[in-house]
Amino acid sequence: MTQIAKKTVLITGGAQGLGRLLAERCVQHGAAKVILWDINEETLRETAQALGEQGTAIECAQVDVQDSTQIAAAAAKVLETQAVDILINNAGIVVGKPLAEHSHYDIDQTIGVNVLGVMHTTRAFLPAIQEHGGHIVNIASASGYLPLPNLTIYAASKWACLGFSESLRVELRDIPDVHITTVCPSYINTGMFDGVTAPIATPILDPDYATDKIIGAILSNKAILRMPRIVNLVPLCYTLLPQRLFDLVCGRWLGIYRAMDLFKGHGKK
């Protein structure tokens, strides 16, 4: 079982939202050091100061995970002095609107953060983790299992993240003390999905609940965490039901395809 106590944890997108909550839990579980990467310098500084008051060593760096050069430089600096025991690829962005309204930058940024950022960050730390052991946690999404109107690029990025994470888990399955956990939650109430309409039977998740479930999955070396539990049925339904029936039952009757109709997101009015 993976231990957080006395370990070094690195969290991308660690200054706010789910990343900050995960950092707080790692501090509470006795982590020796928590390393925060985030693009927002001011929020990063505030979070580091707040967490540092609790006694755990906090290290932070402003890193844009769209930029593989920044990732490589920041990772090399970390690895000069320490090993990372737990890597949590949490950084993510969402653009919720029809594809025709996306700019080309929207597309590049979403794939850059949600897919390439996960891949490059994992690659940067993987040799050391293979040598010394460690745990990689990739925050994917339940949207990695099904189509979502007005979330085309985001859903595509999470399909990619899920495929990457699961393929890596199998690739590394014979290496002792190396673990991969893929997290596939529905909407979490962190502000990232403000305005979203929860589908029937799939409530918007409380951030503290989601955080506790992720920490539990790390401690138990769980390969895939889907939440809430009904998300476990999504891959089965999508595979077994005729496509038109899935569209009707899950997409329309359960409201999955209408979830983004009133989406606002961070900072939108």
Q: For 210, how many CA atoms within 13 A lie in the half-sphere containing its CB?
A: 25
Tokens read off for 202: 């799939």
Say how far apart CA 62 and CA 73 lie, in whole Å.
11
Q: Which of 145, 144, 166, 140 is nearest to 234 (CA)?
A: 145
Cβ-Cβ contacts under 8 Å for 68 (sequence gap 6 or more): 116, 120
* Token reading at 101: 């309204």
Residues labelled catalytic = 154
d(CA 12, CA 62): 10
Question: What H or E segment, with its residue span, contains residue 36?
Answer: strand 33-38
How far apart, in whole angstroms, are the C-alpha atoms of residue 257 and residue 237? 15
d(CA 179, CA 86): 9
Amino acid at position 142, single letter: A
The amino acid that residue 52 corresponds to is G
